[in-house]
Amino acid sequence: MGLFVYLAIPKTQQMNFFLSSALATTLLFGATALQAQTNMKASDTEYYSPVPPTLTIDHGIPSDAIVLFDGKDLSKWKSEKGKANWTVANNVLEVKPGAGAIETNEHFTDFQLHVEWKSPEVIKGEGQGRGNSGIFLQGHYEIQVLDNNNNPTYVNGGAGSLYKQRPPLAQVIAPDKWHVYDIIYKAPQFSKDGILTAKGTVTVLHNGVVVQNNTQIDGTTEYIGLPKQISHGPGPIILQDHGDLVQFRNIWLRKL
């Protein structure tokens, strides 16, 4: 009977139905399930829709990506005070100390984000005072940018950390001064009443090395005090002005 019902529902739903149905059947009628298993054809567990989109890659950028900074201008960005006015030269974006953070005009939910960054040429300061910037996901959760070349600091504040929450799994030195972050982010979910129903998660590859592995986000990034739960919808990518001449290039995002 289980198999009869299974064949009567749409093909795309059959896998889930089959798996739960098979589990229940195994518990209740183990021998019957084993019999059904042996009667299955390979095609019973294959389906054909929906078909995944076909992408091409141009200079490392997937064809469905939103290019947030291509080296030319800051048209996709703004600042708290209005126009984004960090320095753009030689295809590179540089923090303008005192100008404040910049953020994307567009707001996002779940995404894959690619950012390349470089610590200042002139090394000065130490710890959190050396080459500090940051990438805020949905405007609330900072993936730290910091000079990590022989620059000790608290481990949950280093490059690749989910700032003040989770240290990176490794400290990865840039091969040619330019660092690469590939960030896969799933936004937290909230009920209509603003209660957290699912924590956000983040995976970060730093120069190709996994440094955050599906890390749960406890709440907002706070310099002093514990993370806070703040209900929110889609939010911007924010780049932090921490007073250091950190550079960025080649920033793109894919919505997930």
Residue 76 near residue 106, CB atoms below 8 Å: yes
Among 120, 131, 134, 139, binds Mg ion (CB under 5 A): 134
List Cβ neighbours of 52 (8 Å cut-off, separation of 6 or more).
none
Residue 171 near residue 157, CB atoms below 8 Å: no
Q: Write down the least CB distance from residue 137 to Mg ion, Å.
A: 13
Look-up of token digits 């183990």: 30
Residue 205 near residue 120, CB atoms below 8 Å: no
Q: Which is nearer to Mg ion, 25 or 138 (CB)?
A: 138
Q: Write down the least CB distance from residue 244 to Mg ion, Å.
A: 9
What residue number has its CB nearest to Mg ion? 134
* 167 is an interface residue for Mg ion by CB under 5 A: no
Q: Write down the least CB distance from residue 182 to Mg ion, Å.
A: 18
Q: Write down the least CB distance from residue 128 to Mg ion, Å.
A: 8
Kindly state the number of chain residues that form the binding site for Mg ion, as judged by CB under 5 A.
3
Residue-wise DSSP of 208-238: TEEEEEEEEP-S---SSS--------SB--E
Please choose, from the candidates 167, 178, 250, the residue with its C-alpha nearest in 3D space to the C-alpha of residue 207. 178
State the binding string over 185-224 for Mg ion (x if CB under 5 A, else -): ----------------------------------------
Instruction: Give the binding range for Mg ion (CB under 5 A) out of 85-93, 111-119, 198-206, 239-247.
Output: 239-247
Instruction: Give the binding range for Mg ion (CB under 5 A) out of 14-22, 61-69, 90-98, 236-244.
Output: 236-244
Q: Write down the least CB distance from residue 50 to Mg ion, Å.
A: 40
Q: Which is nearer to Mg ion, 161 or 250 (CB)?
A: 161
Separation CA 93–CA 75 (nearest Å): 12
Q: Write down the least CB distance from residue 44 to Mg ion, Å.
A: 52
- Calculate helix-pair angle for 11-28, 30-39, nearest 10 degrees: 140
Instruction: Give the binding range for Mg ion (CB under 5 A) out of 36-44, 81-89, 115-123, 238-246.
Output: 238-246
Q: Which is nearer to Mg ion, 218 or 244 (CB)?
A: 244
Q: Write down the least CB distance from residue 239 to Mg ion, Å.
A: 10
Nearest 5°: the CA angle 215, 221, 225 is 115
Look-up of token digits 């994307």: 104
Nearest 5°: the CA angle 45, 49, 54 is 120
Q: Which is nearer to Mg ion, 18 or 136 (CB)?
A: 136
Q: Which residues bind Mg ion (CB under 5 A)?
A: 132, 134, 240
